[in-house]
Structure 1
């Protein structure tokens, strides 16, 4: 669906919801639940069954109200997605920095974002870096993560670009991890089982005389990682390259 991204709702309504400001005066009886309960129910459904299971009807059933009642709190799913993402960002742990180096602080930022995206796999599908929900969670997260580059000697535009570069790597890595997990689930086979099942035909097809580098390097990587692709190795190698690239910029 085209709206399954952050920033898909009507901006003024979404911002009013994010900051707790009523966009339209409401008349009628007092409400029996809170917007936070709706957000929490939506998060639970998404974590349990995936983003496609998050419907206004499913949320209503989870909190024990009618579907139409939910619409008096949140006008639609696009706005609900923004509320969900912002709530998770607001709940992230953010300890004040101590005497860490910029590199240690950036590693901590990367690790905290990876933990969030691994715990909520659907986030990699909808959390757009280009149009985030500008709520209190996003702003608190952005402020804290920008401070990881304090005293690094970068100007404001470079700090923003450096943070975006880092978060883009984290999001891409977590999406790859979830894709690999889905492949295992869909085929009911681990990577090792898949390679074992196809070993005979691969041995015939991957002729070292025709593909010398692919055969040699692929075998070396597979033996070192225990698979064609290792999430741990990809994370450690990729994060170090991101940090090395930032180090060149900072040193310059």
Structure 2
């Protein structure tokens, strides 16, 4: 708790410094959860925003990282051994792509640069361009590589519904493993990736014999894809939000409660006010549950379209 000297130092900086001391003397170890925003606010008698600012400062310095479903934890040591320089024979496209996937998984796609990738591999940046044309081509190769790690079954789907459900669940699994993936593809400008095309091929095989015209088949496939992707984009958004604020989604929602209660009690939104009172503390927006909640009703809706044909 804040005491004694250092009152000229901003409160959030004093909180951050205290957490650093606890890490330095071993009271907090890599991977262990640091106090939450709410706990820091209570212990230091400061506003939630001040506590969140302290965690944000630590996150920017690489002292802590946000872990989904866990909270903010002490970061592993960033000290790395300098990798040995790879020869041209050692440096392959596959090795480059897998290293790039590792960076995107750990830090997000925005943090992936050709220079940073070269540093991880222990090569000169220009060496990468003998294998990939640039970041755009690299991202397409990354998408192909991770989609291939979640293959569709062989053969033909048992039914249109089973086939589309398999495709949706396979895509969701890939997005859960690689949250950046959902931000790489677009409905209006689809990526020409052979791995992604496998899902289109699978969907078209599933829809054979349904009597749907080609345009409707593509709409069915695109709708299902957009449903899965639309939820999945929030996986990476949450990771970014945790990194920038130092707050978990639950902690952020806790900080918004006074505002939400004000809306609910104002009388201007009576239905919303009733909802807030009825929900209490019972609602937890879980993206996996949301995916499951919507998938079957979506397929039920498509059944009415396909049955009418």
CA offsets, 1:77-136, max 9 Å, x none?
111111111222233221135774322222221111111112111112222233333243
User: Rg larger in 1 or in 2?
Assistant: 2
Partner in structure 2 of residue 9 of structure 1: none
| TM-score, normalised by the number of residues in structure 2 | 0.62
- Root-mean-square deviation over aligned CA pairs: 2.8
Superposition map of 1:1-252 within 5 A: 31-96=89-154, 100-200=158-258, 202-207=260-265, 209-221=267-279, 226-227=283-284, 229-252=285-308
| TM-score, normalised by the number of residues in structure 1 | 0.75
**CA–CA distance in structure 2, aligned partners of residues 198 and 137 of structure 1:** 42
CA offsets, 1:12-68, max 9 Å, x none?
xxxxxxxxxxxxxxxxx9744221111111111111111123222222233332211
Structure 1 residues 101, 222: closer, same or farther in 2, change over 3 A? farther
Aligned to 1:207, what secondary structure does the other structure show?
helix
CA contact 2:104–2:180 (8 Å) conserved in 1: yes
Q: Judge which range, 164-173 or 94-103, deviates more.
A: 94-103
Aligned to 1:239, what secondary structure does the other structure show?
helix
**Mind listing any 5+ residue stretches in structure 1 that lack a counterpart?**
1-28
Structure 1 residues 154, 221: closer, same or farther in 2, change over 3 A? farther
Partner in structure 1 of residue 4 of structure 2: none
Q: Judge which range, 89-98 or 158-167, deviates more.
A: 89-98
**CA–CA distance in structure 1, aligned partners of residues 298 and 231 of structure 2:** 12
Aligned to 1:206, what secondary structure does the other structure show?
helix
**CA–CA distance in structure 2, aligned partners of residues 204 and 58 of structure 1:** 46
CA contact 1:145–1:163 (8 Å) conserved in 2: yes
Structure 1 residues 61, 75: closer, same or farther in 2, change over 3 A? same
